[in-house]
Amino acid sequence: MKDFDMSQPLVSVLMCVYSEPLEWIHQSVSSILNQSYSKFEFILVNDAPKRTDLKKTLDNYSTCDDRICLIENSKNFGLTRSLNTGLEKCRGKYIVRMDADDISGLTRVEEQVKFMEQNSEIGVCGTWAKLFGARNGIEKRALKDESLKFSMVLQSPFIHPSVIIRKAVLDTNRIRYNENYRFAQDYGLWSDLMKVTIFANLPLILLNYRLSNQQISNRNQEQKKIAYQIRQDVIRTLYGENIEKIIYGGEKINLNTIKMVKESLMRYDKRDAPLMNALYLSLQHYSFTVFLVYLRNLKYFNLEVAIKIIKRNFIHDSKNRRI
């Protein structure tokens, strides 16, 4: 299929494939090829060159649709390096990220391209998602730049395979996925991009986001350590070095740390709530006293955080928790 000039595509869709079942890959690839907006190149990076079934499947896709640019790694390099390999091949004004186990809605690319064309100041735009697989539901994120960036002390501001990125922002600022991060590479990317561009999310469910039991349970120590390092940079960017030193200068986070941060902020508004909640979820030890202290902070109160504090107090061993 080719009804436009492939030498200058407006959109590059980037997907890396590794160990996903062929059925999932077929669903994912088909959801892109059947988009209502069709003028894109589709960069597929095969990071499992020893999988003969995968190679055959991807070769068939490439033969049937000339929008596909197939890249085969010489060996398994991992997701982060594979993403950067794919980025170097992307020629579009916009890069649409996609994962091989998710399914894009029919109008996803069309809606996101229209939004980016109408809002030239936006560098990254995500969407909401419908969860399926091990858990069902709707996954939402904040919509506006300030809320998204301050939310980063608690979570990633975007559902990674839902984003569209203005490639010029990456190129002008020489930003790529940090290859020192085997995990949380998207969180690291947002940490770099938050300093140079504006974020947004569309309040539209344009992605079906698959959750497996392995994804939910397989949060290892290396992943936690990387997220910890990135979050430290996020806090320094948002709140300054003074707050960062208070939080990370000691050996552990306790109620005194929280008190010092509150006094140093010198303001109490909605922008501080994510940081305060993150600190309460990062305490080394939990007790009923911690829960009572949290309840008194109505400005920051979040029911989900309160429930987590209760669980950590009465159910989980909270040893070695840090922000």
User: For residue range 85-101, what is the model confidence (pLDDT) as tens digits?
Assistant: 999 999 999 999 999 99
Task: Pick the range with the lowest mean pLDDT from 4-8, 132-136, 239-243.
Answer: 4-8
- Residue type for 155, please? Q
Checking if the pLDDT of 315 tops 90, the result is no
**Predicted confidence band of residue 218 (pLDDT cuts 50, 70, 90):** low
For residues 42 and 13, what is the distance between their CA atoms, to the nearest angstrom?
5
**Predicted confidence band of residue 289 (pLDDT cuts 50, 70, 90):** confident
Residue 297 or residue 151, greater confidence: 151
Checking if the pLDDT of 320 tops 50, the result is no
Checking if the pLDDT of 309 tops 70, the result is yes
Checking if the pLDDT of 321 tops 50, the result is no
pLDDT of the residue at 174: 98
pLDDT of the residue at 225: 86
**Predicted confidence band of residue 81 (pLDDT cuts 50, 70, 90):** very high
pLDDT of the residue at 317: 45
For residues 19 and 21, what is the distance between their CA atoms, to the nearest angstrom?
7
What is the length of the chain? 323
Checking if the pLDDT of 2 tops 80, the result is no
- Write down the pTM of the prediction: 0.89
Residues whose CB is less than 8 angstroms from the CB of residue 119 and which lie 6 or more positions away in sequence, other chains included: 125, 200
For residues 178 and 80, what is the distance between their CA atoms, to the nearest angstrom?
7
Percent of the chain residues topping a pLDDT of 90? 67
Checking if the pLDDT of 251 tops 80, the result is no
Give buried/exposed letters for 173-204 (b at 16+ CB in 10 A, else e): eebbbbeebebbbbbbbbbbbbeebbbbbbeb
Checking if the pLDDT of 120 tops 70, the result is yes
Checking if the pLDDT of 53 tops 80, the result is yes
